[in-house]
Chains A and B, each alone.
Chain A
Amino acid sequence: MDFLSPTSWAEALAAKAAYPEAVPIAGGTDVMVELNFDRRRPPALLDLTRIGELVEWGTDGGLLRVGAGVTYRRIIAELGDRMPGLAMAARTVGSPQIRNRGTVGGNLGSASPAGDALPPLLAAGGLVELASVRGVRRLPVAEFFTGPKRSVRAPDELIAAFLLPMERGRHQFAKIGTRNAMVIAVCSFALALRPATGEVGTGIGSAGPTPLRAVDAERFLAGELPWQTGAGLPDPLIRRFGELVVAAAAPIDDVRGSAAYRRHALSVLARRTLVWAWEEYRREGP
């Protein structure tokens, strides 16, 4: 096995172009499990942990741009106030040991429907930035996934960063697992209220072949929320939102839970996060 250890982004892209079968490794919290258990024997590893560009974050026009190699630990510590939904999700990932190494880039790279960073990125209207020696492209996170563990990333491309709009909103994330810590989601849900534009964003985790948006639920809620008066939400509205979120999901029965349970849990998560986010909006404004 070859071990490629580029120290700059340009070098990394050149290496990926020359050696498309090389498997990128960032925190290694997904890759190493596969190697340790002989599930994967790639001809080469492409280590991304020495590339300064990947661990930086900053602003890019109206967007916040976060390098693919920024760890969960740093998202919580450095970006909690700017990306509250993502930070909430990051706090539920694994253990401190996993959060010290694991990255959002790796979560995108694995493209698991259960990846906890993915629903908040969907809800916040995030973009993924892909790069290769051929150039750079940005696409909505929702267009990145093509199936379980599959994405539009080409063999010569690497994930450079993700980007989120900087407008302040009310973001929530909730996850169901069999215990509080160190658990892969049975299902999860992220909600973003964006008062500045009157939009609503959603992200469903672990209840479909990819992380999903509940587009009808978003449209319904954006139209019905009493943004101006900030009045309390009537029960039927909250329930209807839950139903529309469930309608967008496509869960399966598996070892972690039945499809029926996932549908039920998802409606509860949708209602809860809506109430939390709306109460926060009423209390603290946009």
Chain B
Amino acid sequence: MRVSCRINGEQREADGVWPGESLLYLLRERLGLPGAKNACEQGECGSCTVYLDGLPVCACLVASGQAQGREVVAVEGLSGPDGTLDRVQRAFLEAGAVQCGFCTPGLIVAVHDLLARVPAPADPDIREALAGNLCRCTGYEKIMEAVRLAAAAPPSAPGAMPVPAPGGPR
């Protein structure tokens, strides 16, 4: 089947899609967007987290046909067209919350969403929000630091793409 949807603000199309394949496969293997990572394909690790119609979801658990006509924002869409990083991306770099980096794109999206909902999260809020993102390297302390750092920075880097508010068919 043909699937078309808006991805990172751009209208994209893919042909020959097997309807049962995941949005994650569509993004990575058909559209060349490797930001969302594939680690478990069962919703456990969160490394494939993307916004779908404004809500963070595991791209590995969305059937590609379900993405038809929807709005997807992956980690690539959070930085500006000129490469300006979002405050969450900058905070991860500054705090050293990135080691192998495999979990990072999913975490960035999850943290981006957290700060949009809870501008000044307490540690338990952060832990609850990130419960679906596994990291094998950092021990999470640097990640916690990065979230606190991002929360303290002025919102949204200039030029970064705004994520649509959740709406439409929920």
Q: Give the interface of A toward B (CB within 8 A).
A: 1-3, 5, 25, 27-29, 31-33, 35-37, 41-42, 45, 47, 49-50, 52, 55, 71, 73-74, 94-98, 100-101, 180-182
Contact = CB atoms under 8 A, between A and B. Distances in A.
Given A28-B66, A52-B169, A97-B49, A45 B19 contact: yes
Interface stretch (B6-14, B37-45, B76-84, B149-157): B37-45
Best-surrounded residue of A27, A49, A71 (most CB of chain B within 10 A):
A49
Contacts of A181: 127-128, 131-132
A96 B42 CA distance: 15
24 contacts: A1-B19, A3-B19, A5-B65, A27-B61, A28-B62, A29-B58, A29-B61, A32-B43, A33-B41, A36-B22, A42-B20, A45-B20, A49-B169, A71-B170, A94-B43, A95-B131, A96-B110, A96-B128, A96-B129, A98-B43, A100-B56, A180-B131, A181-B132, A182-B44
A32 B110 contact: no
Best-surrounded residue of A3, A27, A73 (most CB of chain B within 10 A):
A3
Best-surrounded residue of B1, B46, B129, B169 (most CB of chain A within 10 A):
B169
Best-surrounded residue of B22, B46, B65 (most CB of chain A within 10 A):
B65
B131 A101 contact: no
A97 B46 CA distance: 8
B68 interface: yes
Nearest to A179: B131
Contacts of A50: 169
A54 to B, nearest CB: 9
Contacts of A1: 18-20
B98 interface: no
B95 interface: no
Contacts of B41: 33, 36-37
The bracket for how many chain B residues form the interface is 20 to 34
List of 10 A-B pairs having minimum Cβ-Cβ separation, nearest first: A95-B132, A3-B19, A181-B131, A3-B65, A36-B41, A32-B61, A100-B55, A33-B42, A35-B20, A97-B132
Interface in B2-57: 18-20, 22, 41-44, 46, 49, 55-57
B115 interface: no
B63 interface: yes
Nearest to A26: B66
Contacts of B146: none
B163 to A, nearest CB: 13
A3 B110 contact: no
B60 interface: yes
